[in-house]
Amino acid sequence: MKFRAILILFFFAVLKANAASYNDTIIIKSDNSSDRIARDLDSLVTTWYVKIAVKNNEETKGDTIGFSCPDTVYSNRINKINSIIKLSYNSIIKNHIEVYTIRKREKFAAVLGLKDYYFPMIEDVFDSYGLPAELKYMAVIESALNPGVVNGRSGATGMWQFMYSTGRMYGLTINSIVDERRDPVKATHAAARYIKDLYSIYQDWVLVIAAYNCGPGNVNKAIKRSGNKKDYWDIYYKLPRETRGYIPQYIAAAYAVTYYAEHNIVPLPLNIPVATDTIMVNKDIHLAQISQVMGIPLGELHALNPQYKTGLVPGSSKPQSLTLPMNHLGDFINLNDTIRSYKPDVYLNKNVVIADPKRSSFISTDIKGKTKLIYTVKDGDNIGSISEWFKVGLSDLRNWNNIYKNKIRVGQKIVVYVNPTKSEYYSKINTLSYAEKQALIGKIAASNTQPEVSSVPEETDGEFITYTVRNGDTIWDIVKMFDNVTTTQVLSLNNISDPGKIKVGQKLKIKKKS
C-alpha cells in the first residue's frame, strides 16, 4: 500500500507539470466550447473511409434539417440512458446536443458509421480493465472517433488525444516513423490505464472525465478554490474554460449516439472491413509496396494502420503489427517475398518521405518530377483503358485517385501523372473519341460501350477462361475480376512461381464459375 501511495504521488506530480503546460493552450482557445465538437466533426471529412462513403452515398443522408426538442424531452431521454456515471441536464448540455443533432448532423452521421467499428473494440478493452463501457463516449468528444486527428495547437494526437509526454508515460512509442497514439487498440489500452489511475485519485467518474481533459492538477486547484467541494457542478467555474464544456459534451455525445434515430439522422454507411486480422512483421515493409503488389488502395491501408506516419512498417527494429482485411491475409502471406522485393530502394529508404502525415491520402514518390494532368471520364471509359492510354500502372491510377474496386463514373475527374516531356501529347487524350484513344494503343474499338472492369477475357474453352495480361495488371487485379478464384489458385493453375513477373500479353487460364 505504501508503495502504491508513493507511485500515485509520483504520477500526480508528473501529470500536474503536464497539465500546467496544457492549460496554456486552453487560454487561447475559443470561448465557445461547442467549437471543439464542430472542429472534430469537420476533421472526419478528410479521412479515407469517410471521403469514399460521402462520394458513394449521396442518397443516404436522411433529413438534412434538424430540430430542437423541449427540455423535458431531452431530460427524460437522458434519464433513461443506462449509466453508472451521473448524467445531468441543463441549457449548456442542450447547446452541445444540438451541435450533433442540428448544426453538424450530416458529419455526425460519419461518427455513427465509425462507432460500429470502434465501439466494440473500446468496450472490450475497457471491460478487461473493469471500466464502465459508457466511457467510450469520451472518444467521441476527444476525436470524433478519428484515430489520425492532431490538435494543431497542443499537439495532442489520436483517438484519445494523448499529449506526447502522457503518451510516453503510458507506454506508447512515439517517433518520426511510428506514433502509437494513432493506433486505436494500443491507445485505448493506454487510455484505460490512465483512467484507472485517475479514478484511484478521485473515486468519482465525472471528476475522472474532467481530469482526463485538463489534468489532475487543474481539477485539484478547482477543488481547493471551491472550499474542497468535490462535485463537478460545484467546482464548474473554477475549472479551465474548455473543461467546463467537457462534461456537457460528454453527456451530449451519450445522448446523440443513443437517440440519433429520433432526430432522423442516418448513419453514414462506411466500407470499413469489420473482419480484420493482425499479423506481426519482423522485417521492414512499406504500405505502398503492399498496395502496389496486392492492389489494395493505399488510403485503406493507412486507415487500418494509422500509427505508421510515413507508411513504413519498421519491423526490423522490433516486430510490428500490421492490420489487413481478413480476406487479404492469406494472399499477403503468399506474396510476402514479392511485396518486399518491389522497389525496396524507394520504399524502404528511411530518408524518403512517402506520405504526408497531415493528409489522409498518400501518393507514391513515383510522381516526383512528373506533370499532373486531369482526365474527365467519358461514356464507355474504364479504369484499365485509361491506364493504357496514359501508360501508367493500374495500381498507381487507383492510388492517385482513391478509386476502390475499379469503379468510376462519367464526369469524374481523374488525376494522372506523366512524363513532363510528353505532357502535351497526353493532354490531348482528353479531347479524343473512344476509337481514337484505342487507336493510340493499337486497338480497334468495336463500339463506344466498354465493360467497367479493366480488361476482359478473350477466349472461353470448356471449364476455363483465357485472360490476356494487360499493361498495369497485377495478379491481384486479375483475380478481383472473377468471383470464384483466389490468387493461389491462379498461380498454381498457370505454374507461376513469382506473381510479380507476369508479362503483358501473357495468357492466363482462369477456372470458370461453377
pLDDT digit string, tens, across residues 105-127: 888 998 998 998 899 999 999 99
With bands split at pLDDT 50, 70 and 90, how would you rate the model's confidence at 254?
Answer: very high
Asked if 54 contacts 268 with a C-beta cutoff of 8 angstroms, the reply is: yes
DSSP state letters, 452-470: SSS----EEETTEEEEE--
The residue segments making up the domain with residue 487 are 459-511
Please list the alpha-helical segments (H only) found in 295-433.
298-304, 326-334, 336-340, 344-347, 383-390, 394-401, 423-427
CB count, 10 Å around CB of 314?
19
Quick check: is 454 in a domain? no
Residue 62: strand pairing partners: 265
Quick check: is 47 in a domain? yes
For 64-78, 167-181, 264-278, which range has the lowest pLDDT when averaged over its residues? Answer: 264-278
Quick check: is 291 in a domain? yes
Selection from 318, 317, 314, 322 nearest residue 349 by Cα: 314
Which residue has 498518400 as its cell numbers?
362
* Whether residue 196 is found in the same domain as residue 56: yes
Cα dihedral sign for 27, 29, 35, 40? negative
Cα dihedral sign for 469, 473, 474, 479? negative
pLDDT for position 18:
39
Quick check: is 360 in a domain? no
pLDDT for position 121:
93
Quick check: is 448 in a domain? no
pLDDT for position 136:
96
Rounded to 5 degrees, what are φ and ψ at 512?
-65, 155
Quick check: is 358 in a domain? no
For the ranges 188-202, 314-328, 399-413, 445-459, the maximum mean pLDDT occurs at: 188-202
With bands split at pLDDT 50, 70 and 90, how would you rate the model's confidence at 12?
Answer: very low
Quick check: is 133 in a domain? yes
Torsion-angle region of residue 477: left (phi > 0), alpha (psi -120 to 50) or beta?
alpha
* Whether residue 433 is found in the same domain as residue 489: no
Total number of domains constituting the chain = 4
**Grid coordinates of 250:** 460528454
- Rounded Cα–Cα distance for residues 275 and 464 (Å): 31
* Whether residue 47 is found in the same domain as residue 141: yes
* Whether residue 62 is found in the same domain as residue 155: yes
- Rounded Cα–Cα distance for residues 207 and 497 (Å): 61
- Rounded Cα–Cα distance for residues 405 and 336 (Å): 22
Asked if 121 contacts 263 with a C-beta cutoff of 8 angstroms, the reply is: no
3-class secondary structure per residue, 125-191? HHHHCCCCHHHHHHHHHHHCCCCCCECCCCCCECCCCECHHHHHHCCCCECCCEEHHHCHHHHHHHH
* Whether residue 330 is found in the same domain as residue 436: no
**DSSP type of residue 99:** I
* Whether residue 43 is found in the same domain as residue 156: yes
* Whether residue 17 is found in the same domain as residue 129: yes
* Whether residue 384 is found in the same domain as residue 405: yes
Asked if 363 contacts 397 with a C-beta cutoff of 8 angstroms, the reply is: no
**Grid coordinates of 512:** 470458370
Residue 157: strand pairing partners: 150, 162
- Rounded Cα–Cα distance for residues 181 and 178 (Å): 9
Rounded to 5 degrees, what are φ and ψ at 324?
-135, 155
* Whether residue 499 is found in the same domain as residue 375: no
* Whether residue 335 is found in the same domain as residue 381: no
| Residue after which a domain boundary falls, among 263, 284, 316 | 263
For 91-100, 278-287, 413-422, which range has the lowest pLDDT when averaged over its residues? Answer: 413-422
Asked if 14 contacts 169 with a C-beta cutoff of 8 angstroms, the reply is: yes
**DSSP type of residue 431:** G
- Rounded Cα–Cα distance for residues 181 and 174 (Å): 7
Domain containing residue 417: CATH number:
3.10.350.10
pLDDT for position 152:
65
pLDDT for position 279:
92
For 19-23, 307-311, 339-343, 497-501, which range has the lowest pLDDT when averaged over its residues? Answer: 19-23
3-state class of 23 per DSSP? helix
- All residues at 6 or more sequence positions from 16 whose CB lies less than 8 Å from its CB, including other chains: 215, 216, 217, 220
Quick check: is 364 in a domain? no
Residue 361 predicted with pLDDT over 50: no
The more confident residue out of 186 and 7 is 186
